[in-house]
């Protein structure tokens, strides 16, 4: 799912909260429907009413994109100079020195600035994504003015930092986020189709095996083995395999009927795009941290900062904490500087 058409659809949807005029909205529904069908299963185009059937679920996805686009996500200047006075940077990076080291390691960022098309671009915008890990520890802490030993505390660490969707401006990065969300939904729908297809293949194999097994037992009954073995035992085995084969035939028909029709494909797309929040969601979570990244309980007088984290969930997992980042070309260390930093640790 790529190209100018899809980029235009996402550009209109992502980041806009207001409703479009009816005629423009209908055009967006049709365009996004065609892009989804082309990505998940192009055969659906052969259904003469596929757009009408998919319209409700596509509208649900459009509303979800608009909601995500309106969710506030911080934009951070990724630079060592801002580490001391930017609470989110202090939380995401343990030291100010970690920021230029991260920028220097980013292959995506280097490729962006080295691209001739970006020769005159002074800064890049991207989506900063990282994993969050909460860990319970026992450590000294002041409680009501007294130093207590072995107090249960929760530390918050961020790791696996990545820069995604680099572009000369934030609007293009936001469009890339929207594009990836729709692609995720398409992936889930296609995964369901593949799973049903896999079950169909397995059912066919099982049916073939049982049919062969049944022929084998009938040969045993009618051949020389039926002379020396108890016919009742062989007949019982034949009846059991026949029953299994009948069930396998029924299961195969049921699996095929759920997918190997255009309505079957449409049903899988509807199931995913009709409930987009079940597969991709973005939420804001308040987090009270002191300068050591230790959680501060609500109501505590301990010094702390309240951070509003944007958390991206894929399925039932918290996949990433995200923020938009602004990276100046001048803040990316030269390769020789990175080598000098590495040598200090050897």
Domain identity same for 6 and 101:
yes
pLDDT at 291: 85
Mean pLDDT taken over the chain: 84
> Where residue 260 falls among pLDDT bands split at 50, 70, 90?
low
Determine the average pLDDT of the residues in 254-280.
84
Contacts of 209 (CB under 8 A, 6+ apart): none
Nearest to 203 by CA among 257, 251, 261, 265: 251
pLDDT above 90: residue 37: yes
Nearest to 75 by CA among 328, 324, 282: 324
Domain identity same for 73 and 161:
yes
- d(Cα 218, Cα 289) in Å, to the nearest integer? 75
Domain identity same for 12 and 149:
yes
Domain identity same for 278 and 165:
yes
Task: Please tell me the number of Cα atoms within 13 Å of 29 on its side-chain side.
Answer: 20
pLDDT tens track for 41-86: 999 999 999 999 999 999 999 989 888 888 888 899 999 999 999 9
- Asked, for residue 340, whether it belongs to a domain, the answer is no
Angle of CA points 154, 159, 165, to nearest 5°: 135
- d(Cα 79, Cα 7) in Å, to the nearest integer? 30
Cα 189 to the center of its chain, rounded Å:
13
Domain identity same for 264 and 141:
no
Q: Which domain holds residue 255?
A: 189-272
Domain identity same for 118 and 220:
no
pTM, two decimal places: 0.76
Question: Where does a domain end: 255, 272, 289?
Answer: 272
> Where residue 2 falls among pLDDT bands split at 50, 70, 90?
very low
- d(Cα 32, Cα 11) in Å, to the nearest integer? 12
- Asked, for residue 98, whether it belongs to a domain, the answer is yes
Comparing 148-152, 181-185, 194-198, 307-311, which segment has the lowest mean pLDDT? 148-152
Determine the average pLDDT of the residues in 340-344.
55
- Asked, for residue 342, whether it belongs to a domain, the answer is no
Residue 328 φ then ψ, to 5° = -80, 140
User: How much of the chain exceeds pLDDT 90, in percent?
Assistant: 42
Q: What's the domain count of the chain?
A: 2
Contacts of 222 (CB under 8 A, 6+ apart): none
Determine the average pLDDT of the residues in 144-164.
82
pLDDT above 50: residue 106: yes
- Asked, for residue 120, whether it belongs to a domain, the answer is yes
- Asked, for residue 341, whether it belongs to a domain, the answer is no
Q: Which residues does residue 288 pair with via DSSP β-bridges, in sequence order?
A: 306
pLDDT above 60: residue 301: yes
Nearest to 172 by CA among 8, 5, 1, 2: 8
For residue 199, how many other CB atoms are within 10 A of its CB? 17
Domain identity same for 15 and 108:
yes
Question: Where does a domain end: 272, 292, 325?
Answer: 272
**Residue 145 zone, left/alpha/beta (φ > 0; ψ -120 to 50; rest):** left
């Amino acid at each position: 799912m790529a190209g100018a058409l899809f980029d235009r659809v996402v550009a209109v949807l992502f980041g806009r909260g207001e409703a479009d005029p009816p005629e423009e909205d209908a055009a967006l529904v049709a365009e996004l429907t065609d892009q989804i069908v082309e990505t998940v299963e192009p055969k659906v185009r052969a259904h003469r009413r596929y757009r009408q059937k998919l319209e409700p679920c596509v509208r649900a996805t459009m509303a979800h994109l608009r909601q995500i686009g309106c969710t506030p996500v911080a934009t951070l200047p990724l630079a060592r100079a801002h580490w001391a006075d930017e609470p989110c940077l202090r939380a995401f990076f343990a030291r100010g020195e970690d920021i230029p080291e991260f920028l220097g390691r980013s292959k995506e960022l280097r490729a962006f600035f080295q691209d001739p098309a970006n020769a005159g671009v002074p800064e890049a915008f991207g989506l900063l994504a990282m994993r969050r890990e909460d860990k319970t520890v026992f450590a000294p802490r002041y409680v009501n003015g007294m130093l207590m030993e072995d107090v249960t505390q929760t530390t918050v660490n961020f790791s696996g930092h990545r820069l995604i969707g680099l572009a000369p401006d934030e609007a293009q990065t936001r469009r890339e986020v929207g594009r990836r969300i729709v692609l995720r939904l398409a992936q889930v729908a296609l995964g369901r189709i593949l799973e049903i297809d896999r079950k169909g293949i397995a059912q066919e194999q099982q049916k073939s095996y049982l049919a062969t097994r049944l022929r084998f037992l009938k040969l045993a009954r009618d051949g020389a083995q039926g002379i020396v073995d108890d016919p009742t035992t062989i007949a019982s085995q034949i009846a059991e395999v026949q029953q299994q084969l009948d069930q396998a035939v029924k299961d195969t028909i049921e699996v095929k009927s759920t997918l190997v029709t255009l309505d079957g494909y449409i049903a899988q797309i509807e199931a995913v795009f009709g409930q987009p929040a079940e597969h991709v969601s973005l939420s804001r979570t308040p987090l009270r941290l002191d300068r050591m990244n230790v959680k501060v309980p609500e109501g505590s007088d301990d010094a702390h900062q309240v951070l509003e984290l944007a958390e991206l969930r894929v399925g039932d997992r918290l996949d990433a904490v995200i923020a938009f980042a602004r990276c100046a070309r001048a803040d990316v260390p030269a390769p020789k500087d990175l080598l000098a930093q590495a040598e200090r640790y050897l």
